[in-house]
Protein backbone atom coordinates (compact mmCIF):
# COMPACT_ATOMS: atom_id res chain seq x y z
CA UNK A 1 0.00 0.00 0.00
CA UNK A 2 1.29 3.46 -0.93
CA UNK A 3 2.36 5.74 1.93
CA UNK A 4 2.15 8.83 -0.27
CA UNK A 5 -0.43 11.44 0.62
CA UNK A 6 -3.39 11.83 -1.76
CA UNK A 7 -3.48 14.76 -4.16
CA UNK A 8 -4.46 17.94 -2.31
CA UNK A 9 -6.02 20.61 -4.50
CA UNK A 10 -5.71 24.20 -3.31
CA UNK A 11 -5.95 27.65 -4.82
CA UNK A 12 -2.29 27.33 -5.80
CA UNK A 13 -2.67 24.04 -7.69
CA UNK A 14 -1.65 24.20 -11.35
CA UNK A 15 -4.39 22.88 -13.66
CA UNK A 16 -3.85 20.68 -16.71
CA UNK A 17 -6.40 18.96 -18.93
CA UNK A 18 -6.86 16.28 -21.55
CA UNK A 19 -9.36 17.03 -24.31
CA UNK A 20 -10.98 14.26 -26.33
CA UNK A 21 -14.24 13.12 -27.95
CA UNK A 22 -15.15 10.74 -26.34
CA UNK A 23 -13.05 11.05 -23.18
CA UNK A 24 -14.19 8.18 -20.90
CA UNK A 25 -11.59 5.79 -22.35
CA UNK A 26 -8.49 7.89 -21.59
CA UNK A 27 -5.92 6.70 -19.04
CA UNK A 28 -3.96 9.95 -19.00
CA UNK A 29 -5.56 11.38 -15.83
CA UNK A 30 -4.63 8.24 -13.85
CA UNK A 31 -1.07 8.19 -15.14
CA UNK A 32 -0.24 11.90 -14.99
CA UNK A 33 -1.90 12.54 -11.63
CA UNK A 34 0.13 9.67 -10.18
CA UNK A 35 3.23 11.21 -11.77
CA UNK A 36 2.45 14.57 -10.15
CA UNK A 37 1.72 12.94 -6.78
CA UNK A 38 4.86 10.80 -6.59
CA UNK A 39 7.05 13.78 -7.47
CA UNK A 40 5.39 16.27 -5.16
CA UNK A 41 4.23 18.50 -8.03
CA UNK A 42 1.30 20.74 -7.04
CA UNK A 43 -0.75 20.05 -10.16
CA UNK A 44 -3.83 18.14 -11.30
CA UNK A 45 -4.97 16.93 -14.71
CA UNK A 46 -8.69 16.57 -15.50
CA UNK A 47 -10.51 15.00 -18.47
CA UNK A 48 -12.64 17.36 -20.56
CA UNK A 49 -15.08 16.06 -23.18
CA UNK A 50 -14.93 18.44 -26.16
CA UNK A 51 -16.75 17.86 -29.45
CA UNK A 52 -15.15 19.25 -32.62
CA UNK A 53 -17.73 22.02 -32.95
CA UNK A 54 -16.78 23.34 -29.50
CA UNK A 55 -13.01 23.04 -29.81
CA UNK A 56 -12.17 26.65 -30.69
CA UNK A 57 -14.39 28.01 -27.92
CA UNK A 58 -12.85 25.74 -25.29
CA UNK A 59 -9.31 26.65 -26.32
CA UNK A 60 -10.20 30.33 -26.28
CA UNK A 61 -11.27 29.82 -22.67
CA UNK A 62 -8.03 28.00 -21.84
CA UNK A 63 -6.06 31.04 -22.98
CA UNK A 64 -7.68 33.11 -20.22
CA UNK A 65 -7.17 30.52 -17.43
CA UNK A 66 -4.08 31.94 -15.73
CA UNK A 67 -3.60 28.87 -13.51
CA UNK A 68 -3.63 26.47 -16.50
CA UNK A 69 -0.23 25.11 -17.47
CA UNK A 70 -1.26 23.19 -20.57
CA UNK A 71 -3.27 20.30 -21.93
CA UNK A 72 -2.96 16.89 -23.56
CA UNK A 73 -4.73 16.33 -26.88
CA UNK A 74 -6.14 13.09 -28.22
CA UNK A 75 -8.70 11.78 -30.76
CA UNK A 76 -10.05 13.56 -32.77
CA UNK A 77 -8.42 16.92 -32.05
CA UNK A 78 -4.68 16.52 -32.71
CA UNK A 79 -4.60 18.07 -36.17
CA UNK A 80 -7.15 20.79 -35.43
CA UNK A 81 -5.33 21.89 -32.27
CA UNK A 82 -2.04 22.16 -34.18
CA UNK A 83 -3.67 24.78 -36.40
CA UNK A 84 -4.80 26.71 -33.32
CA UNK A 85 -1.35 26.82 -31.69
CA UNK A 86 0.83 29.91 -31.81
CA UNK A 87 4.03 27.87 -32.10
CA UNK A 88 4.90 24.26 -32.90
CA UNK A 89 7.85 22.13 -31.86
CA UNK A 90 9.95 20.10 -34.34
CA UNK A 91 7.71 17.00 -34.61
CA UNK A 92 4.53 19.06 -34.56
CA UNK A 93 5.74 21.18 -37.48
CA UNK A 94 6.62 18.20 -39.66
CA UNK A 95 3.58 16.08 -38.82
CA UNK A 96 1.00 18.86 -38.56
CA UNK A 97 -0.57 17.56 -35.36
CA UNK A 98 0.09 17.79 -31.63
CA UNK A 99 -0.72 15.82 -28.50
CA UNK A 100 0.62 18.19 -25.84
CA UNK A 101 0.28 21.95 -25.55
CA UNK A 102 2.03 24.28 -23.12
CA UNK A 103 0.21 27.47 -22.15
CA UNK A 104 2.68 30.30 -21.59
CA UNK A 105 2.21 33.02 -18.97
CA UNK A 106 0.82 35.38 -21.61
CA UNK A 107 -1.73 32.85 -22.90
CA UNK A 108 0.13 31.62 -25.98
CA UNK A 109 -0.06 27.95 -26.99
CA UNK A 110 3.11 26.00 -27.84
CA UNK A 111 2.32 22.50 -29.12
CA UNK A 112 4.33 19.43 -30.06
CA UNK A 113 3.80 15.75 -30.85
CA UNK A 114 5.09 12.93 -28.63
CA UNK A 115 3.01 9.98 -29.91
CA UNK A 116 5.75 8.69 -32.19
CA UNK A 117 8.61 8.98 -29.72
CA UNK A 118 6.44 7.48 -26.97
CA UNK A 119 5.37 4.57 -29.16
CA UNK A 120 8.88 3.65 -30.31
CA UNK A 121 10.30 4.01 -26.78
CA UNK A 122 7.47 1.80 -25.53
CA UNK A 123 8.27 -0.86 -28.12
CA UNK A 124 11.92 -0.90 -27.13
CA UNK A 125 11.06 -1.04 -23.42
CA UNK A 126 9.09 -4.23 -24.12
CA UNK A 127 11.91 -5.80 -26.16
CA UNK A 128 10.59 -4.97 -29.66
CA UNK A 129 13.19 -2.76 -31.33
CA UNK A 130 11.65 -1.71 -34.67
CA UNK A 131 15.02 -1.28 -36.38
CA UNK A 132 15.22 -3.58 -39.40
CA UNK A 133 11.60 -4.77 -39.17
CA UNK A 134 8.92 -4.95 -41.86
CA UNK A 135 5.99 -3.02 -40.47
CA UNK A 136 2.32 -2.55 -41.37
CA UNK A 137 0.84 0.63 -39.91
CA UNK A 138 -2.94 0.97 -40.08
CA UNK A 139 -4.22 4.53 -39.89
CA UNK A 140 -3.28 7.95 -41.25
CA UNK A 141 -4.42 10.38 -38.56
CA UNK A 142 -2.33 12.45 -36.19
CA UNK A 143 -1.07 9.57 -34.06
CA UNK A 144 -0.40 7.38 -37.10
CA UNK A 145 1.57 10.17 -38.78
CA UNK A 146 3.72 10.63 -35.70
CA UNK A 147 4.31 6.90 -35.39
CA UNK A 148 5.20 6.59 -39.09
CA UNK A 149 7.74 9.39 -38.70
CA UNK A 150 9.28 7.84 -35.56
CA UNK A 151 9.43 4.34 -37.09
CA UNK A 152 11.27 5.65 -40.15
CA UNK A 153 13.59 7.55 -37.83
CA UNK A 154 14.22 4.28 -35.94
CA UNK A 155 15.49 2.60 -39.12
CA UNK A 156 12.78 0.10 -40.04
CA UNK A 157 13.44 -2.11 -43.06
CA UNK A 158 10.14 -1.21 -44.74
CA UNK A 159 6.94 0.56 -43.74
CA UNK A 160 3.53 0.04 -45.32
CA UNK A 161 0.77 2.49 -44.43
CA UNK A 162 -2.85 1.38 -44.86
CA UNK A 163 -5.91 3.56 -44.48
CA UNK A 164 -9.53 3.43 -45.62
CA UNK A 165 -8.90 6.69 -47.50
CA UNK A 166 -5.88 5.88 -49.66
CA UNK A 167 -5.09 9.55 -50.30
CA UNK A 168 -4.50 10.11 -46.58
CA UNK A 169 -2.12 7.15 -46.42
CA UNK A 170 -0.27 8.51 -49.45
CA UNK A 171 0.03 11.91 -47.78
CA UNK A 172 1.57 10.36 -44.66
CA UNK A 173 3.97 8.30 -46.79
CA UNK A 174 5.03 11.44 -48.68
CA UNK A 175 5.60 13.30 -45.40
CA UNK A 176 7.84 10.52 -44.12
CA UNK A 177 9.76 10.28 -47.40
CA UNK A 178 10.39 14.03 -47.35
CA UNK A 179 12.19 13.70 -44.02
CA UNK A 180 13.75 10.28 -44.73
CA UNK A 181 14.35 10.04 -48.51
CA UNK A 182 16.10 6.66 -48.30
CA UNK A 183 13.36 4.97 -46.26
CA UNK A 184 11.21 2.32 -47.94
CA UNK A 185 7.69 3.66 -47.35
CA UNK A 186 4.62 2.66 -49.33
CA UNK A 187 0.85 2.36 -49.06
CA UNK A 188 -1.05 -0.91 -49.15
CA UNK A 189 -3.92 -3.05 -47.95
CA UNK A 190 -4.55 -4.01 -44.28
CA UNK A 191 -3.23 -7.53 -44.89
CA UNK A 192 -0.85 -8.51 -42.05
CA UNK A 193 0.73 -11.50 -43.78
CA UNK A 194 4.50 -11.23 -44.11
CA UNK A 195 5.06 -8.43 -41.57
CA UNK A 196 7.17 -8.55 -38.42
CA UNK A 197 5.06 -5.92 -36.66
CA UNK A 198 1.49 -4.74 -37.22
CA UNK A 199 0.37 -1.49 -35.58
CA UNK A 200 -3.23 -0.37 -35.20
CA UNK A 201 -3.06 3.41 -35.04
CA UNK A 202 -6.78 3.94 -35.67
CA UNK A 203 -9.60 4.34 -33.15
CA UNK A 204 -11.14 1.02 -34.26
CA UNK A 205 -11.40 -1.12 -31.15
CA UNK A 206 -12.58 1.48 -28.67
CA UNK A 207 -16.19 0.33 -29.15
CA UNK A 208 -17.35 -3.33 -29.10
CA UNK A 209 -19.20 -2.75 -32.38
CA UNK A 210 -16.10 -1.56 -34.26
CA UNK A 211 -14.88 -3.65 -37.18
CA UNK A 212 -11.40 -5.14 -36.97
CA UNK A 213 -8.73 -2.88 -38.55
CA UNK A 214 -6.99 -5.80 -40.31
CA UNK A 215 -7.82 -9.26 -41.65
CA UNK A 216 -6.85 -11.23 -38.54
CA UNK A 217 -7.25 -14.54 -40.36
CA UNK A 218 -4.04 -13.63 -42.21
CA UNK A 219 -2.01 -13.10 -39.04
CA UNK A 220 1.08 -15.26 -38.56
CA UNK A 221 2.27 -16.35 -35.09
CA UNK A 222 5.66 -14.67 -35.56
CA UNK A 223 4.04 -11.24 -36.01
CA UNK A 224 3.94 -8.81 -33.09
CA UNK A 225 0.59 -6.96 -32.97
CA UNK A 226 0.56 -3.54 -31.35
CA UNK A 227 -2.25 -1.20 -30.28
CA UNK A 228 -2.31 2.46 -29.33
CA UNK A 229 -5.81 2.23 -27.78
CA UNK A 230 -5.71 2.42 -23.96
CA UNK A 231 -9.22 1.21 -23.14
CA UNK A 232 -10.12 -1.55 -23.42
CA UNK A 233 -6.65 -2.85 -22.59
CA UNK A 234 -7.30 -5.98 -24.66
CA UNK A 235 -9.08 -4.88 -27.82
CA UNK A 236 -10.80 -7.27 -30.20
CA UNK A 237 -7.69 -7.07 -32.39
CA UNK A 238 -5.36 -8.09 -29.56
CA UNK A 239 -7.72 -10.88 -28.52
CA UNK A 240 -7.68 -12.28 -32.05
CA UNK A 241 -3.90 -11.92 -32.24
CA UNK A 242 -3.51 -13.88 -29.00
CA UNK A 243 -5.72 -16.62 -30.45
CA UNK A 244 -3.34 -16.76 -33.43
CA UNK A 245 -0.34 -17.18 -31.14
CA UNK A 246 1.05 -13.66 -31.69
CA UNK A 247 2.88 -11.60 -29.12
CA UNK A 248 0.84 -8.47 -28.41
CA UNK A 249 1.88 -4.96 -27.36
CA UNK A 250 -0.68 -2.94 -25.38
CA UNK A 251 -1.60 0.68 -25.93
CA UNK A 252 -0.65 1.63 -22.37
CA UNK A 253 3.05 1.26 -23.17
CA UNK A 254 2.96 4.28 -25.48
CA UNK A 255 1.26 6.43 -22.85
CA UNK A 256 3.52 5.24 -20.05
CA UNK A 257 6.61 6.23 -22.04
CA UNK A 258 5.12 9.57 -23.07
CA UNK A 259 4.52 10.72 -19.50
CA UNK A 260 8.04 11.98 -18.91
CA UNK A 261 8.20 13.62 -22.34
CA UNK A 262 4.83 15.39 -22.14
CA UNK A 263 5.08 16.51 -18.54
CA UNK A 264 8.59 17.86 -19.05
CA UNK A 265 7.30 19.82 -22.05
CA UNK A 266 4.20 21.23 -20.34
CA UNK A 267 6.07 22.05 -17.12
CA UNK A 268 8.91 23.81 -18.95
CA UNK A 269 7.52 27.26 -18.25
CA UNK A 270 6.99 26.61 -14.52
**Catalytic one of 66, 78, 168, 177:** 78
Does residue 252 have a pLDDT over 50? yes
Q: Summarize the confidence of residues 90-112 as an average pLDDT.
A: 94
pLDDT value at position 1?
A: 44
pLDDT band at residue 230 using 50, 70 and 90 as cut-offs: confident
Topology of the domain covering 116-254: Rossmann fold (3.40.50)
Rounded-to-10 torsion of CA 247, 250, 255, 256: -70
pLDDT value at position 143?
A: 87
pLDDT value at position 7?
A: 76
Q: Do the domains 116-254 and 14-113+255-266 match in fold?
A: yes
Does residue 2 have a pLDDT over 70? no
In whole angstroms, what is the distance from residue 179 CA to residue 145 CA?
A: 12
What are the residue ranges spanned by the domains of the chain?
Answer: 14-113+255-266, 116-254
pLDDT value at position 159?
A: 98
Q: What share of the chain is helix, strand, coil (3-state, %, to 5)?
A: 35, 20, 45
Condensed to tens digits (0 to 9), the pLDDT of residues 37-96 reads 999 999 999 999 999 999 999 999 999 999 999 999 998 999 999 999 999 998 899 999
Active site (annotated) includes residue 78: yes
Topology of the domain covering 14-113+255-266: Rossmann fold (3.40.50)
Mean pLDDT value across the chain: 94
Does residue 28 have a pLDDT over 60? yes
Amino acid sequence: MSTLAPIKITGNTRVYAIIADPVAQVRTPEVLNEYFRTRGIDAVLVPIHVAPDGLESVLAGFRHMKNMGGFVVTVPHKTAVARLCDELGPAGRVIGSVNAVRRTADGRFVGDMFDGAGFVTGLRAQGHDPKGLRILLVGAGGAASAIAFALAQAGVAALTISNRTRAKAQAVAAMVKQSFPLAIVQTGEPDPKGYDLVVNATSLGMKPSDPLPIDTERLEPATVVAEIIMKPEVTALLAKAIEKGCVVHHGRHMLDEQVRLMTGFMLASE
